[in-house]
Structure 1
Amino acid sequence: MISEQAWADAELIWDFHQMHHQPRPCSVAVGLGSHDLGVADTTVDLYRRGMAPLIVFTGATSPTTRARMPRGEAVHYRERALELGVPPEDVLVEPNARNTGENIRLTRALLEGAGRPIESVLLISKPYEERRAYATARKLWPEVEVICASTSMTFTQYVDSIGDPKLVIDMLIGALQRLTLYPAQGFLIAMAVPKAVTEASARLLAQGFTSRLVDAQAP
């Protein structure tokens, strides 16, 4: 059972992870691969709304997606987009990325190789990955403007969709840890974390929401 305080702390961190950008037309929409096909659906919705003339889906497989998406995250995302009526020529696939940094670097290389000039990127991720995706893109693709987007849903709705409150809170804490650790490793830009968010994270860590943490000493 998740306590009322823990739930409130998780909601605070959930809100912090989102950039609260207003979508606007960009050069390309980039959907970051994951277990969540909702990322593909949201990317297609933004494409249909005229927010980007071109879609790139990026992602290989991971231990959490290999069984569900054996052909790779980006390939399954593209298949979903075609099912939803997006013309094949408007959907590119980057099938090799295995982390957020590779998502950005390899997508950038793909578009440069295709001769597509990019001034702005509409970056679509899971809701709790927006801020880290933004910080990664600003570090690795600094010359473009980055607008973040995700499926519009509350923390409660997301928990209901996953069916495991502890796992979701663990993922929120893991994403926050990476946001604070990775700037020193050159993976993303540093972003200020409000004191209230840090305190909420400390309370949740003390309660054992730790399964998605990385080794702070790892390179």
Structure 2
Amino acid sequence: MPTTTYPAAVRPDVETLWQYNQLNHPDRPTDVGIGLGSHDLGVATHTANLFLSGMFPRIVFTGANAPTTVARFPRGEAVHYREHAIERGVPADAIILEPQATNTTENIQFTRNVLADHGLTDAIRSVTVISRPYQQRRSYAILRKQWPEVDVICSSLPLDLDDYIETIGDAERVIDMLVGDTQRIWKYPEQGWAIEQDVPDDVMDSFTRLVNAGYTSRLLPA
């Protein structure tokens, strides 16, 4: 049964990875907001909030389904995000849907394609990428590789670690995802999917201890 509690002994390492994976970019106006699909509806909430505060004039919600999201979002992540944003007051005609992507690299590539289909590519000089908090660094690295000519701001619903775990309702799942996203910081550049980024020793040490503690379900194969 999922729980929001987890061992106190691992908390310092979880906090280290939590802080590392967020970039703390200040929000500012950009040409488009890109909401990356996931199991976390908070991404759609924050995207809508930023739109309604005037941070960008249009939104792309991107995402099909993963095994972890199909039960919650049976019509696809992007579709449910769009519906949620409209419920929060975003005009339907301000939202472009990209319902095919199944990973973050496809999120960016397919978003570029759908913006081109709408004749908007030349107008895009800056983007705000909205993701889960621990997905910021990975998303930034992928976008800088896949779309290097645009300026990138990363943003997430502003929650601390404990509050975020409460919203998800499953501490083990959050920690597993956090460990997996951290590993992808050095794994994805090896595949040519993302730019390289520095991984400080304390981050690597925390990652290793959490892996040894069993938080491994989201790790990529060795």
Question: If the length of structure 2 is used for normalisation, what is the TM-score?
Answer: 0.94
Q: Give the Å deviation of 1:22.
A: 0.2
Q: Give the Å deviation of 1:160.
A: 1.8
For 1:35, which of 36, 39, 54 is the aligned residue?
39
Q: Give the Å deviation of 1:176.
A: 0.7
- Partner SS for 1:146: strand
- Whichever residue aligns with residue 81 of structure 1, its letter is A
Aligned residue pairs, count: 216
- Whichever residue aligns with residue 169 of structure 1, its letter is I
For 1:123, which of 108, 119, 129 is the aligned residue?
129
> Structure 2: how far apart are the matches of 1:164 and 1:69?
18
> Structure 2: how far apart are the matches of 1:169 and 1:98?
21
For 2:63, which of 59, 62, 73 is the aligned residue?
59
Deviations 1:128-165 (A, max 9, x none): 10000000000000000010000100111112222322
> Structure 2: how far apart are the matches of 1:94 and 1:104?
10
Aligned to 2:104: 100
Does 1:72 find its partner at 2:66?
no
> Structure 2: how far apart are the matches of 1:166 and 1:36?
15
Aligned to 1:181: 187
More off after superposition, 156-165 vs 77-86: 156-165
Aligned to 1:206: 212
Identity across the alignment (%): 51
Q: What is the root-mean-square deviation of aligned Cα atoms in Å?
A: 1.1
- Partner SS for 2:182: helix
> Structure 2: how far apart are the matches of 1:161 and 1:37?
10
Does 1:87 find its partner at 2:91?
yes
- Whichever residue aligns with residue 196 of structure 1, its letter is D
Q: Give the Å deviation of 1:174.
A: 0.5
Q: Contact 2:65/2:77 (CA < 8 Å) preserved in 1?
A: yes
> Structure 1: how far apart are the matches of 2:167 and 2:113?
34
> Structure 2: how far apart are the matches of 1:101 and 1:179?
13
Change (3 A) 1:67 1:2: closer
Deviations 1:90-111 (A, max 9, x none): 0010000000000000001111
> Structure 1: how far apart are the matches of 2:66 and 2:28?
31
For 2:160, which of 147, 154, 171 is the aligned residue?
154
Aligned to 2:145: 139
Question: If the length of structure 1 is used for normalisation, what is the TM-score?
Answer: 0.96
Unaligned runs of 5+ in 2: none
Aligned to 1:190: 196
Deviations 1:9-47 (A, max 9, x none): 101100110010001000000000011111001001000
- Whichever residue aligns with residue 188 of structure 1, its letter is A
> Structure 1: how far apart are the matches of 2:199 and 2:211?
16
Q: Contact 2:43/2:130 (CA < 8 Å) preserved in 1?
A: yes
Q: Any residues of structure 2 matched to 1:5-20 within 5 Å, and which?
A: 5-20=9-24
